[in-house]
Amino acid sequence: YLEVENVTKRFGDLVAVDDVSFSADEGEFLSLLGPSGCGKTTMLRMIAGLETPTAGEIRIRGETVTDQPPYERDIGMMFQHYALFPHKTVGENVGFPLKMRGVNKADRRKQVAEALEMVRLPDAIDRSPTELSGGQQQRVALARALVFEPDVLLLDEPLSALDRVLRQQMRVELERIQKEIGVTTVYVTHDQMEAFSLSDTVVVLDEGQLSQQGAPIDIYENPASEFVGDFIGQST
């Protein structure tokens, strides 16, 4: 469903992503896990179309998207600092991707209401995002990422700005929503507990290279290298 094949990204002399291949089935929750600087965000940005790979191919539903601009890919994104527009209402924020796709106002309103229902904020539609708590703003950002029913959902450390309690709540919410709508998800994190608790598959990256790929339990029981063992053994 999502295939990443021999993808490399260089910035000058630096190899940020080095010949990485992995794939996710439809509805799968896959995490890219590794320490800061291992290339997780760069990988995600290439799937989104915000960076072009130096080499390799990315396919979604069998179609090569490697050189397509972001707006031609059916991808929902939520980043840690993917800010909401403060001067627009919650409804306008969530409806923005639909507006960009030329969806008419009546259909927009309906789809926005459904998305807000899904993240359990049905009454927030006419409010300003600035009146909402951090956790609620994250829910709005998630509703915006999902409102056009994307093929793939990309999440880059979406919970890291939240405090511990909210983080735990959002993790549970995220899991519920992802299973409910069955959207193929790529989740970037440096937090092994988060990756292990949420994912069907974990891809461990180390200095741009893929160290190990597998189900959480397999990686936990049989780390492929000292790096993986050390990394998943540590707690944050």
Residues lying near ligand ATP in the complex (CB under 6 A): 11, 14, 16, 34, 36-42, 190
Write down the least CB distance from residue 84 to ligand ATP, Å.
Answer: 21
- Identify which of 50, 52, 80, 42 has the alpha carbon closest to the alpha carbon of residue 158: 80
For residue 138, the 8-state DSSP code is H
Write down the least CB distance from residue 5 to ligand ATP, Å.
Answer: 19
Write down the least CB distance from residue 224 to ligand ATP, Å.
Answer: 19
Of 94 and 210, CB closest to ligand ATP: 210
Helix (H/G/I), strand (E/B), else coil: 15: strand
Tokens 């909402």 label which residue? Answer: 132
Write down the least CB distance from residue 188 to ligand ATP, Å.
Answer: 6
Of 151 and 207, CB closest to ligand ATP: 207
The whole-angstrom separation of Cα 140 and Cα 130 is 11
Write down the least CB distance from residue 9 to ligand ATP, Å.
Answer: 8
The whole-angstrom separation of Cα 45 and Cα 49 is 6
The whole-angstrom separation of Cα 184 and Cα 58 is 15
Of 91 and 158, CB closest to ligand ATP: 158
Of 40 and 144, CB closest to ligand ATP: 40
CB atoms within 10 A of CB 58: 23
Alpha carbons within 13 angstroms on the beta-carbon side of residue 189 total: 24
Of 38 and 170, CB closest to ligand ATP: 38
